[in-house]
Amino acid sequence: MSPLPAWPPALSEAQQADLAHQAATYALANGFTLLPVPPKGEHVPAIPTQVIAAPLSLLPTPFPRPAYVQAKSIQRLYNALYARVALDWEFLDGIMQYVAPVDDFQAELWNRWKAIRDEIKVTQPVQLGIFRSDYLLHEQGNAVGEKSRIKQVEFNTIAASFGALSQKASEMHRYLSEQTNYYHVNPQLHNPNSFVDNHSLEDIAAGLAEGFNAYGNSDAVVLFVVQEGERNVFDQRALEYQLLKRHRVKSVRLTFAQVAQRGQLDDDKVFWLDCPLRGEQLEVALVYYRAAYTPADYMSSAEWDTRVLLERSTAIKCPSMALQLAGAKKVQQVLAEPGVLEDMLLGNARPDVGFGAGPGSLGARDAAALRETWTGLWPLDSSEEGTKAVQLANEHPERFVLKPQREGGGNNIYRGDIPPYLAKLEEEDKSRPGEAPRREAYILMELIEPPKGVHNLLVRGGEGTPRLADVVSELGVYGVALYGGKVTPVNREAGTLLRTKGRESDEGGVAIGISSIDSPLLV
């Protein structure tokens, strides 16, 4: 039995239309926006002249207060865990030696990092992580009346997006409550204590500022490395504006190609950017990646060369190549194996990240708290567990999702599509005799079963008409971790994101209109 109320409360068509109007105008007035999809055959214009409201929900979606508090409270443990993974070269090498033969992207990232890591350990030992741990509520198999539990979908170590828009969604729902009382259709919708106080924009920007300050030159800049034709530009720009307004930190945003054209590394490994409009060079203190997580960002070796050039510099990276590798799905699966998490958190031989995660500072309860949020994870290799996983995937595919080592969504194989996909990989292996089976590039994950019967009114980006949808909501918790070298360590939770989508869709994707940016109504 789900603890969540039937949702949404009844609203007349006139009330829905009024909410949609107020939500859209609020979004447009406050930068809760995306660039529109360009006409077929055209690109996103260099100088934007039009925007659309981001996909949104008219009402916040009910979410159990204890589950929300739990997800936020364990974020610092997750920060500590993945910071430690990124410092443990032997651990990463042990995983990547099996992933690299079947995943060209991970192989390139790993090999490039290995070639320079002794150098960068001296050049810039400080690392900054802007993380997001994503969860779904799970209730399958719970006892009657038992509350839904959070189960982790994945842990993002690079380009964790929507921090700015998430704060704006929370502010929009609170505004609608204060302005309309949601027409008194439900007492929780005009109870201020039911709405979350979310400062993800401010908290993430503060983390970037802390990374910048650790570099030690207030005249330097933050370099945002971005994708060409980025539609989610306002989420990123809001961070830039916040950095300048609150922290007096200037930013420059460039694609890999522009960095290659304008950047250079001097003899002291300081990275400089030519700024021809100002007639000066800018020193880069911090590199913040909102690109570089997908093979599409590396069209040739030139992009990889630029990534390595930045990695070799004295600039602090967010994330480093090691921290990006730590976010691989295979790492998530290996950590779930018996004893591995405990050894990583509690083992005295593991690297000390310095913020309450050194030897003796974490205990078995901390490891148990993390394991409580995990669902079943299996390898797809030739081990006994891997063989068992292949059998499970073929005999009971409805229970599973197949995940590659990718970020950004749209890459997973679900349920009934799994057996024919595994058969396809097996057929392709016949042309690769003596090489590792291609299925080893994937992990098998037990599907999380969200509560049923929750609906909401969703509005697609650029459209004004709400649609009633049977929904699934995914909660993301942001984290900031600054560590390494002689820096004063930072480890904290940094706000939340709720993405809500129709139950009919397995994949998310705010920019393409599948998911809406939402906020929790704590119940």
Domains of the chain: 13-375+448-522 (no CATH), 376-447 (3.30.1490.50)
Active site residue 210: no
Flag the least confident range among 289-298, 351-360, 447-456. 351-360
Of the candidates 463, 163, 134, the residue with the CA atom closest to the CA atom of residue 327:
134
Active site residue 156: yes
Q: Which secondary structure element, helix H or strand E, spans residue 63, and what is its range? A: strand 61-63
Residue 118, judged by CB atoms within 10 A of its CB (0-12, 13-18, 19+), counts as: exposed
pLDDT in tens, 146-184: 568 999 999 999 999 999 999 999 999 999 999 999 999
What is the arithmetic mean of pLDDT over 228-245? 97
Maximum average pLDDT range among 131-145, 403-417, 452-466:
452-466
- The pLDDT score that the predictor gives to residue 4 is 86
Cα distance between residue 356 and residue 352, in whole Å? 9
- The pLDDT score that the predictor gives to residue 145 is 42
- The pLDDT score that the predictor gives to residue 512 is 46
- The pLDDT score that the predictor gives to residue 410 is 72
- The pLDDT score that the predictor gives to residue 143 is 41
Contacts of 523 (CB under 8 A, 6+ apart): 3, 4, 5, 62, 63, 64, 65, 188, 194
pLDDT in tens, 98-114: 999 999 999 999 999 99
- The pLDDT score that the predictor gives to residue 139 is 85
Flag the least confident range among 275-284, 342-351, 391-400, 411-420. 342-351
Work out the percent of the chain whose per-residue pLDDT is above 90: 86
- The pLDDT score that the predictor gives to residue 144 is 38
Can you say which residues are annotated as belonging to the binding site for substrate? 132, 158-161, 230-232, 236, 290-293, 499, 510-511
pTM for the structure as a whole: 0.95
Active site residue 269: no
Of the residues 129, 499, 516, 519, which is catalytic? 499
pLDDT in tens, 37-85: 999 989 999 899 999 999 999 999 999 999 999 999 999 999 999 999 9
The region that residue 115 occupies, defined by phi over 0 for left and psi between -120 and 50 for alpha, beta otherwise, is alpha
Active site residue 492: no
* Position 507 pLDDT exceeds 80: no
Of the residues 57, 156, 456, 516, which is catalytic? 156
- The pLDDT score that the predictor gives to residue 413 is 95
- The pLDDT score that the predictor gives to residue 148 is 82
- The pLDDT score that the predictor gives to residue 141 is 54
Question: pLDDT grade, residue 508 (50/70/90)?
Answer: low
Cα distance between residue 123 and residue 99, in whole Å? 28
Can you say which residues are annotated as belonging to the binding site for ATP? 154, 329, 403-412, 414, 445-448, 474, 501, 507
- Neighbour tally for 246: CB within 10 Å: 12
- The pLDDT score that the predictor gives to residue 140 is 64
What is the arithmetic mean of pLDDT over 395-422? 91
**CA distance between the termini of the chain:** 15
Flag the least confident range among 76-85, 129-138, 343-352. 343-352
Question: pLDDT grade, residue 188 (50/70/90)?
Answer: very high
Of the residues 72, 76, 84, 132, which is catalytic? 132
Cα distance between residue 425 and residue 438, in whole Å? 6
Torsion, Cα 32 35 37 43, to 10 degrees, reads -160
Alpha helices for 356-456 (secondary structure H): 364-371, 384-395, 418-429
Active site residue 250: no
The alpha-carbon radius of gyration of the chain (Å, integer) is: 23
Cα distance between residue 44 and residue 54, in whole Å? 16
Higher local confidence (pLDDT), 310 or 434: 310
Can you say which residues are annotated as belonging to the binding site? 132, 154, 156, 158-161, 230-232, 236, 290-293, 329, 403-412, 414, 445-448, 474, 499, 501, 507, 510-511
Of the residues 376, 408, 502, 509, which is catalytic? 408
Torsion sign, CA atoms 77, 81, 82, 87: positive
Can you say which residues are annotated as belonging to the binding site for Mg(2+)? 154, 156, 407
Active site residue 84: no
- The pLDDT score that the predictor gives to residue 278 is 82
Residue 356, judged by CB atoms within 10 A of its CB (0-12, 13-18, 19+), counts as: middle
What is the arithmetic mean of pLDDT over 320-344? 96
Of the residues 329, 438, 439, 460, which is catalytic? 329
Given a contact cutoff of 8 angstroms between Cβ atoms, the answer to whether 27 and 54 are in contact is yes
Of the residues 79, 133, 148, 161, which is catalytic? 161
Active site residue 132: yes
pLDDT in tens, 353-380: 877 654 456 778 999 999 999 999 999 9
Of the residues 407, 440, 449, 493, which is catalytic? 407
Residue 397, judged by CB atoms within 10 A of its CB (0-12, 13-18, 19+), counts as: buried
Active site residue 430: no
What is the arithmetic mean of pLDDT over 233-252? 98
Alpha helices for 283-328 (secondary structure H): 301-311, 321-326
Structure token pair of residue 41 = 């055959």
- The pLDDT score that the predictor gives to residue 322 is 98
Decide: helix, strand or coil at residue 136.
strand
pLDDT in tens, 137-152: 998 654 434 568 999 9
Of the residues 31, 142, 154, 462, which is catalytic? 154
Question: pLDDT grade, residue 3 (50/70/90)?
Answer: low
Mean pLDDT score of the chain = 93
Active site residue 161: yes
Maximum average pLDDT range among 212-226, 355-369, 429-443:
212-226
